[in-house]
Structure 1
């Protein structure tokens, strides 16, 4: 017996089938991305268990790095994703002839504690004249646990002491402004960053260190990152880095003049 479909049912079935097919096709890019995301999470989990400070990140580059060039001060930039992303955002700044040899040692997402653990490998062993330390953003973001200003300052002070013991001059950076963290919303970081920067500046002043104030130059009226300097509210884009670059050069020059 031939089945008789209700009026309009066949058309609705065709439409439903088309919508289902479209939905599946539309989801295909997400399915295609899933293995890559799964692999990233697997690597991140493995790193947290087996290489918490990510010592492997620059291990090979450190071994291949030649000795410092006589007469050209080597400057290590130690930090998080803001430091790591700088050469990509403004490669021309690092490519042009500089009075310094810049060595970037930033790792995205890192806290001050992780930087401290790799400080000897990624800074001291490279024999720089100056180290520029930008730490604290991911502490405030609680990337590796609850935020403690005391612990963050302890880590920063330990890095300074390690550097000074090796005759390395230190530039301490303010934490750049952030009104909110996209990956850790509702932590209200802006006042915490302002308070942490006050601690960093006071410590730098007391110990005759150069304090590099990025925050004032980049902040809006809410103490967040100005829209024109960073689209996600945390990471500078090219205009933001171009504000930071002369401040960096001035701070390095000042550090080299100090005994």
Structure 2
């Protein structure tokens, strides 16, 4: 049984809006699509990239106990909170490099998801910083050995009605479904490729 882990912040968890207790994780789509996959969601609302490398290391180390087996694929999305809190681009990029390295050394295939736009993009150059981080995610995928799902381009903020919620940060059910569909395609390709490599 292949084990897929969604890892990151509230966008990974599938939060609909700030303060809401309703979730619609992208994992729901993949779980329905592939009965041979076990999907776990390790998204934590409000989590920062600065905390994620150590959290991922612990998760991969303890996955046999916590999730009854090693994790084969990580679908990772993080950085929105870091940008909103004013962290430097180079700090965010360093954390993303660490995520890629931790995944590789633990034998887990990595899908890195670009950071979607939100209502903070116009504040103090956040949009430009987000674009720089996403350029890194897309540009370094071959060198760091991960697959990219570019939801920033697929769901441009404010350009398609009904994709983003009222808080201007989290997606709607419609938006998460589109993310789930994109991840399903990527997961299918990654698992097909890795099965051939084994």
TM-score normalised to structure 2 length: 0.80
Work out which of the two has the higher radius of gyration on C-alpha atoms and give 1 or 2: 1
> Given the alignment of the two structures, is residue 140 of structure 1 paired with residue 76 of structure 2, yes or no?
no
C-alpha contact 1:225 1:234 (8 A) present in aligned 2: no
Q: Greater relative contact order: 1 or 2 (C-alpha under 8 angstroms, separation 6 or more)?
A: 2
Q: Note the 1:1-259 alignment, pairs <5 A.
A: 72-85=1-14, 88-89=23-24, 93=29, 96=32, 98=34, 99-126=36-63, 127-142=70-85, 146-180=86-120, 186-220=123-157, 224=158, 226-231=160-165, 232-256=167-191, 257-258=193-194, 259=197
Are residues 187 and 131 of structure 1, via their aligned partners in 2, closer, same or farther at CA, if it must alter by over 3 Å?
A: same
Aligned-residue offset at 1:116? 1.2
The structure with the greater share of residues assigned to helix is: 1
- After TM superposition, the structure 1 stretch with the greater mean CA deviation from structure 2, 188-197 or 99-108, is 188-197
Deviations along 1:117-139, one digit per CA (max 9) or x if unpaired, are: 21122244321100111111111
Q: Is the 8 A contact 2:29 2:181 kept in 1?
A: no
Q: Which runs of 5+ in 2 are unaligned?
A: 16-21, 64-69
5+ residue gaps, structure 1, are 1-71
Query: What is the alpha-carbon root mean square deviation over aligned residues?
Result: 2.3
Q: TM-score, normalised by structure 1?
A: 0.62
Output the CA distance in 1 between the equivalents of 2:128 and 2:146. Answer: 24
Between Structure 1 and Structure 2, the one with more strand by share is 2
Mapped partners of 2:72, 2:78: distance in 1: 19
Count, aligned residues? 179
